[in-house]
Structure 1
Amino acid sequence: MNVLHFVTDFFSDGANWHGSGGIPHRMLEHIQVCLIALGISAAIALPIGLFTGHTGRGGYILAAFSTAARALPSFGLLVLMTVWLHRIGTTPAMIPLVALAVAPILVTTFEAIRSVDPAPVDAARGMGMHPMSVLFQVELPVALPLIFSGLRSAAIQVVSTATIAAYVSVGGLGRYIIDGLAQHTYTKVVGGATLVAGLALVTIALFWLVERLVVSPGVRRSR
């Protein structure tokens, strides 16, 4: 059978649309894990990236951290956290996902603030604006497109990598891939992979839509 047949068989099977193992339930589990991981990552990375970008300090440290975080093997870190914490579930799954997502958000936010044209920033400071007002009213609106690109990159990586959470009984779309491989049921494997790829494409579309709504048209054109 080719891939198209596997996909057709998976989605045409009514058993895959009902119950706790059905597509709607697994999709909801996967989205929930991704939103938690992305929310934690953004809460950590955005303030640090904004502050360091605004002050111009810590760039080398951020670069080193980003390189180290991206070099971490997500699955290996998941196994390590499971053994270290002596538990399975959401907590050990969150650690590798957050470590994966923090790096692109942090570095991109720093670079976005640093890349803002210094002329309006200097003018705002010359007018006596408070440093936080300069950051949030001058620098941040101009830097938003690049910041969104970091968030989008992190979200796509989390959506794709969250499949490993199924190894520690978190659930999600990775359950189809893991169970399918264990049972040699490749219809499940291909179906689960198709759902993950589709969710990643939807994520890209959602970030594009949010960016269109939030970012000023003039800033978008200048970018």
Structure 2
Amino acid sequence: MNYLSEAVVWLNDPLNWTNPGGLLDRLSEHLQISFWAVLLGCLIGWPVGIWLGHRGRGGSAVITLANLTLALPTLAMLTILPLTPLGFGKPPVVVALAVFAVPPLLSNAYTGLRSVDPEVKDAAKGMGLSGSQVLFRVELPLAVPYLAAGLRTAAVQVVATTTLATFVNGGGLGEIISAGFGLGISVGGNQIVAGGLFVVLLALVVEGLLALVQRLVTPRALRAAKRRRPTAAAPAG
């Protein structure tokens, strides 16, 4: 059986979209979970990364924290967190995915603040700006492209990983795939492939939209400087 062609047929059936528990319902759940997870990750990762980058300290701590967080298996966290007072459902999924979203948000925020030219900051201080004014008027505007890049990476990762929410009754598009497995490969194979394709397409759409946002928030001068920057030559030998 050609599961890919059968998956396309399954996706073209309006009832698979509009029925209770269909693609539209699951897509809404998927986007809600992803939104709250990324938002929680931003509330944790951005302030810490910005503060450390502004102070110019804690680079090794940022790298260590990011590596430790990435080393945590998301599926294991989804299995453990429901045993806490969070219980089953969406709350443990949001927390687990937020932990997964923090590393790119934190590291990009730190890198963005540290990438600001020290001479620019010295000039701002020479004009009488306080430390907080330098942060909000100079460093943060110049670091916006890095913040957008971290948001883009975190959002795509979370959207793709939210599929695992089905293992703890968290909803999302993973329920479509799980239901297909429940029917058996011979019967539900088309639904499994359709669910997987839909998740891939959703991740690509999020990637494209946030790539556009990243480009729009990057000042033209920075984009021009990036295009003019020479490519490093490969080492000889």
Shift of 1:169: 1.9
Which residue is 1:215 aligned to?
A: 218
Q: Is the 8 A contact 2:45 2:102 kept in 1?
A: yes
Over 3 Å counting, the alpha-carbon distance change for 1:113 and 1:151 in structure 2 is same
Relative to structure 2, which stretch is displaced further, 208-217 or 184-193? 208-217
- Tell me how many residue pairs correspond in the alignment: 223
Q: Aligned letter for 1:187?
A: N
Shift of 1:214: 2.5
Which of the residues 200, 214, 222 maps onto 1:197? Answer: 200
Query: 4+ residue stretches of structure 1 with deviation over 3 A?
Result: none
Which of the residues 187, 190, 204 maps onto 1:187? Answer: 190
Shift of 1:3: 4.3
The 3-state SS of whatever aligns with 2:128 is: coil
Shift of 1:202: 1.0
Over 3 Å counting, the alpha-carbon distance change for 1:86 and 1:222 in structure 2 is closer
Shift of 1:161: 0.4
Q: Is the 8 A contact 2:180 2:191 kept in 1?
A: yes
Shift of 1:86: 7.0
Partners of 1:151 and 1:5 lie apart in 2 by 35
Indicate yes or no: 2:124 matched with 1:128. Answer: no
Shift of 1:145: 1.5
- Alignment gaps of 5+ in structure 1: none
Q: Is the 8 A contact 1:145 1:220 kept in 2?
A: no
The structure that has the greater radius of gyration is 2
TM-score, L = length of structure 2: 0.89
Q: Aligned letter for 1:108?
A: N
Superposed CA deviations along residues 195-223 of structure 1, whole A, max 9, x for unmatched, are 11111111112112222333321122223
Q: Aligned letter for 1:203?
A: V
Q: Is the 8 A contact 1:20 1:26 kept in 2?
A: no
Partners of 1:151 and 1:3 lie apart in 2 by 34
Partners of 1:63 and 1:213 lie apart in 2 by 28
Q: Is the 8 A contact 1:141 1:215 kept in 2?
A: no
Q: Is the 8 A contact 2:149 2:214 kept in 1?
A: no
Relative to structure 2, which stretch is displaced further, 178-187 or 34-43? 178-187
**Pairwise mapping of residues 43-192 of structure 1 onto structure 2 (< 5 A)?**
43-85=43-85, 87-184=87-184, 185-192=188-195
Partners of 1:121 and 1:29 lie apart in 2 by 44
Partners of 1:206 and 1:132 lie apart in 2 by 32
Q: Is the 8 A contact 1:104 1:154 kept in 2?
A: yes
Shift of 1:174: 0.8
Sequence identity of aligned pairs in percent? 38
Partners of 2:208 and 2:58 lie apart in 1 by 33
TM-score, L = length of structure 1: 0.94
Partners of 1:85 and 1:20 lie apart in 2 by 29
Q: Is the 8 A contact 2:102 2:154 kept in 1?
A: yes
Superposed CA deviations along residues 67-99 of structure 1, whole A, max 9, x for unmatched, are 110001000111011123372111111121011
Partners of 2:32 and 2:217 lie apart in 1 by 24
Partners of 2:171 and 2:80 lie apart in 1 by 19
